[in-house]
Structures are given as C-alpha cells and as structure tokens.
Amino acid sequence: MNTAGTVGTVGPIAAEAARLFESAYGRTAGGVWAAPGRVNVIGEHTDYNEGFVLPMAIDRYTAVAAAPRTDGLLCVVSAAGDHRVTEIALSDLAPRVPHGWPAYPAGVAWALRGAGVLPSRFGGADLAFASTVPIGAGLSSSAALECSTGMALAAIADAEVRLSPAELARLSQYAENVYAGVPCGPLDQLSSVFGAEGGVLFIDTRSLEIAVHPFDLAVAELTLLVIDTGVSHDLGESGYPARRASCEKAAAVLGVQALRDLTTADLDRAAAQLDETTARRVRHVVTENERVERFVSLLKLGELTGPRLNAAGELLTASHASLRDDFEVSCDELDVVVDTALRAGAHGARMTGGGFGGSAIALVSLDRAERVTASVLDALPEAEIFQAVPARGAHRVA
C-alpha cells in the first residue's frame, strides 16, 4: 500500500529520538525538540528573488534528543541509518566537514558559534535524531533538521534568550548556504520555525514580514494531497544553483535589486535585453509572485468554495505549467502525477519544492480524494501520498 498513513503527530517521533539517545549514549537526554517539514502551497523559486511565498508547516517532524558534553565534541546519530555515532570536534568545524547528513547539524553548531549564540564555554553536545519528514521529497527535511538542531543546542547551552525565532531561521539558512553549500532562499527555514496550526504563511522574503492566513481546508470539505514521486532530489547537485545564478544575472542586466522589483509590464523589456532562456526564467518569477498575491486575496475573502475554489485551483495549475515550461525544474514523474490528479478531479495541482524530483500537491474535494489517490497510484505506483495538515512550527516537546 503506497498511501502513507497518519504519522504526523510529534509525540511518537520524539519518543523514538529519546530512545535512540539512550541506546547510543547510555544516558537520558536533557530534552527533545522538534521542527516540521513544509509544503509550499504556491510561490516557487521566488524566495531567493526577494519575492512572495505561501508555505505551511506540515505535521511531519524531525525530532532531536539532546544533552550537553564537556569535551568539545559534537556527536550525532540518526534513526534513519545504521545508528552509528559520528563525532566532530567543535574546533574542527568547517564548511563541508563532515560529509553527508551530519554536515547539517554540524553547520548549525558552526553558525551558532560564529554568531555568538553559543558561549565560548560551550562544551559540545550529544544529539539523536528521528524524523517523519521524507528525505529528498522537496518537503524541507534539511530545514527541519537544522531548525530542531538550533533550538536544541541553544537550549542545552542556556542560550535561548540569544536565539530569537527569526535568528534561528536566519542562522539555519546560513548554515545550509555556506556550510552545506546549498544556495537556498529563506522559505524553508522560515516555514519550519514560524509554522502555525491551521494556517498558511504569507511571507514577503524581502522584508521578512509574515502574515498567517487561516487554511482549514476540512471546513470547506477540501484536502491538500502531497504526492511524493519517489524521485529524490539534491538541490546542491541539481540545476537549482544554476537557476538562482540566472535570476541574479537577469536582475543585474535589468538594473533592479532583485526580480521581485519587476512586473508583467517589464517582461517585454526583459525579452529584449536577455537571451530567450533567461527571459523565461524572469517570466516565471514575475508571474509566480502575482499568483501568490492573487491566491492570498482569495483566502482573505473566506473559505475556498465556488468561484474562489475554481480560481485557486487554476492558480496552482498555472504555477506548475510555469515551473515546467519557463523555469524548467519539473520532471516526467511530477508532470504525470499533476496531469493525472487533474484528470481525476483535482481542482488544481502543481509540483512543490525546488523541483528536479520530489513532490507535487493536489487541491481536492474530500469526496474525490480516494479517486484521485487511486488514479495517481495507477499512473505512478511508487508514489507515496498523504494529506497535508498545517502544523505548529519548531518547539520543545519534552
């Protein structure tokens, strides 16, 4: 059965992290912290262009059990592997050291130390991780790992007062950019930190202003299906860095701080001054920002029903077409599940996340959810499907 069950509550995964901690380190953790993955409802590849995004944290969490050390070591272990402990000396922390997943918590420790959040007397930590956020699915598993780590390290170092939620998001992004080498924008970390139960986050990634809008789809007899294609993506190795570089080049040529500063009225000028491929990249960002703003305007009018539901679905589907054709970050599997979901009765569907694999979402009436799910699984049997629920952001669990 490829329909994922309800594994979204944070309690069981926090308990798993605590058990792993005791098994790996032979003592009881000082606490457990958790941060969620996210689904970006609309607004893709706009965040690093200082534009608008509309994500929501989902009830899939990464939990970390933690306790301090006194010997200058950062020790990490994950339930998603052979349970082998990796040890890193705090004095040896440097970008790309170590390789693999431990680089993410190591990078957060490095960023917190560099920012003065962790005091000079900080002696290290034991960390044990467990997660229900799918890896490589475009649901921000790395941000969940980073933000849970940051909260835990600050807490066990008695440095929580020096780490505001906004600073947690900023330093987690900085760690991913510089330490792990992934040039992501602020979307993922802001979503993981500021997630709200029952709400989506309208984020202006230039000002970092965040507005929470109610998004209780069940009231309108709707659901948002997340369809993990099983095609794993790695943003650091995919075409993601090239897309970002293309956008920054276009902004420089067009004389603006970021593509956020352009409107559809500027697209003819962009087409005249840029090569055809770069002009299409610009067109996606400009039109995607407008789609986000239009989607938010629909939410402000009330529940997504009737014409508002139709309009919302059309915006999601138009976003996918733009990502597929103008930004060229989709893939065959994503296109198949989006097209199949629409034919089966979804109101709208699109890829979500950076692309080159990962997941799609479909806005579906509850009475059509089983039909859409069955159709998608017929078309792509290896897909994993679950219903996204807006969830609380990073917090201490125990």
Q: Which two tokens stand for residue 105?
A: 């918590």
Per 3-state DSSP, the chain is made up of helix, strand and coil in percentages (nearest 5) of 45, 20, 35
Burial 23-35 (b: 16+ CB within 10 A, else e): ebbeeebbbbbbb
Q: Which two tokens stand for residue 111?
A: 């960023």
Backbone angles phi, psi at 181, to 5 degrees: 80, 25
Q: Are 391 and 36 in contact (CB under 8 A)?
A: yes
CA distance 192 to 182: 17
CA distance 149 to 33: 8
CA distance 19 to 35: 18
Among 47, 59, 188, 326, the active-site one is: 188
Q: Are 379 and 336 in contact (CB under 8 A)?
A: yes
Q: Which two tokens stand for residue 283?
A: 């067109």
188 is catalytic: yes
CA distance 110 to 150: 10
The residue type of 379 is A
Half-sphere exposure of 291 (CA within 13 A, CB side): 28
Q: Are 52 and 292 in contact (CB under 8 A)?
A: yes
Burial 226-248 (b: 16+ CB within 10 A, else e): bbbbbbebebeebbbeebbebbe
Q: What is the dihedral of CA 189, 33, 167, 122, to 10 degrees?
A: -130
Closest CA to 391 of 38, 21, 6: 38
CA distance 355 to 365: 25
Catalytic residue positions? 188
